[in-house]
Structure 1
Amino acid sequence: MRKIYVIGIGAGDPDHLTLQAVKALNHANAFFVLDKGEEKSDLIGLRRDILDVHVKNTSYRLVEVRDPERDRRTSDYSPAVDDWRRRRADLYERFIAEDLGEDECGAFLVWGDPALYDSTLGILEEILDRGSVTFDHEVVPGISSVSALLAKHRTGLNRVARPVQITTGRRLAEGWPEGVDDVVVMLDARQAFTRHLDQDLHIYWGAYVGTEDEILVSGRLTDVSDRIEELRAEARARKGWIMDTYLLRRD
């Protein structure tokens, strides 16, 4: 039976990979990579760097496929995401069925950790439910962007006997979560932190964490909010995309 590895490769630094991840990389015959266009071509470059550093068998195949575009104009967020994931599932299914032999191993290289804000595991379950192709799969955890961010800022995720919540910018824009004082925010295209300047908050912010383009800012939100907005705008204009994460901590 075909074997699929879903490998967490960290936030961008080749040194983020675990020994388990390196072993899995060296078992794979083919790696599946989504091409997100010219603006994000350096993401494929980072994956190639990881393979160059850690894979000893140079006979592996790299299968690159253009990532389907998600409809960002519609106000119906969930249906748009469902359609996008379905079209991704079609591509993943084709890779497994056509690019892998019956006794070969394939691998998906997932940024951060496959269990945190990533769709790969759900898509593979959908493919198995379709029943057109069978495979075994194994998940290799990785260093998430959250872990990498907090390590860079030398702070912990939670405080003693107090909960922490991980959410999105879309949710934070709707209001501060109830019952928590520590909130990690991912996928924040709206810069939702600017809507909470009336609270006594400390922010630990980072973009492109673990890469050569890494940017870090921390401090009282009221003091550094404008600086983060400026840095974020400059970085996005320079690279054409941005990946950032932050922790908001209420005193």
Structure 2
Amino acid sequence: METQPVKRRISVIGIGAGNPEYMTVQAINALNRAQVVFLPNKGADKAGLLHLRHEICDRYMDGEACRFVEFDIPERSKAGAYKTDVKEWRAKVRQIYERLLRDELAEDDVGAFLVWGDPSLYDGTLGILDRIHATGAFDLNVDVIPGISSVSALAARHKVALNRIGESLTIMTGRQLAAGFPDTGGNVVVMLDTQKGLQEIDGDIHIRWGAYVGSPDEILVEGKLRDVRDEIERLREVSRETHGWVMDTYVLSPDGGSTGD
């Protein structure tokens, strides 16, 4: 007898970049339609991320019918090649998601994953759910709710437009930046800079940097890179020691800070 796929309904909800007020009306409505909310726990060092998700639910959910399921996220290995490490890590997370969908969510219920920032920008949730669906073991009905990313929040806090007329806007990681500044002519947004990509680039570049953007712990720095590079690195270290984690984003302008033309 052929086994039928497990049918599940999922909302992947972008919750914004650290400020509960970044929750959109659409996100709030989707959250209130959920019967089960899955909350990732990344350990004691990043307990603030779990706390924020609980704070958002407490603030915006109307009733008490929803059930919260916390689950541990394994730490990604950094011993091998980056893409290999990420692939292996996602496979472990996929197994966790499969268990959650099978054991913690009924067919008639809606489950919700709360994604930091926006689900479409440097987040693996959608890819993992796609892989689960592709196995044929699950029939997933996935609804995606966009969120205010750290990129949008950073531009707003620095009061600038990201693009310039007729030029490209490049979004990349710190790992990619460390390999060389892109020759596109336009502004460059850098996320996930765990490799200290700022150390290798031209000090004449103008930077608009932010950490914990929109939150009470927000830090903003702007200036010529040569003038503020050391201060940014100092703030990163202090923030990591204080909070156990640091999430920063920055915009690089190659011609001295112009963003609108």
| Fold shared, TM-score > 0.5 on shorter chain | yes
C-alpha displacement of 1:93: 1.2
TM-score, with length taken from structure 1: 0.96
C-alpha displacement of 1:2: 2.6
TM-score, with length taken from structure 2: 0.93
- 1:124 and 1:180 map into 2 onto residues whose CA distance is 36
**What residue number does 1:108 align with?**
113
- Residue deviations 1:185-244, cap 9 Å, x none? 11101221121134x211010111122211110111111111111111111111121111
- 2:108 and 2:25 map into 1 onto residues whose CA distance is 24
* Percent identical residues: 49
What secondary structure does 1:206 align onto? strand
* 1:190 matches 2:215: no
Cα RMSD (Å) of the superposition?
1.0
**What residue number does 1:241 align with?**
245
Contact map agreement 1:165 1:180 (CA 8 A) in 2? no
Matched ranges for 1:181-220 at <5 A: 181-198=186-203, 200-220=204-224
How many residue pairs get matched? 249
Matched ranges for 1:120-139 at <5 A: 120-139=125-144
- Residue deviations 1:94-124, cap 9 Å, x none? 1111111110000000011100000000000
**What residue number does 2:45 align with?**
39
User: Runs of at least 4 residues of structure 1 off by over 3 A?
Assistant: none
- 1:197 and 1:225 map into 2 onto residues whose CA distance is 11
- 2:91 and 2:185 map into 1 onto residues whose CA distance is 34
What secondary structure does 1:3 align onto? strand
* 1:68 matches 2:69: no
Give, as a single letter, the amino acid of the residue that structure 1 aligns with 2:31. Answer: L
Give, as a single letter, the amino acid of the residue that structure 1 aligns with 2:109. Answer: E
- Residue deviations 1:157-202, cap 9 Å, x none? 111111110001111000011223311111101221121134x211
C-alpha displacement of 1:44: 0.6
* 1:149 matches 2:118: no
Contact map agreement 1:205 1:245 (CA 8 A) in 2? yes
What secondary structure does 2:138 align onto? coil
**What residue number does 1:56 align with?**
62
- Residue deviations 1:22-80, cap 9 Å, x none? 11000000111111000100111000110011100222111111101211122x11111
What secondary structure does 1:125 align onto? helix
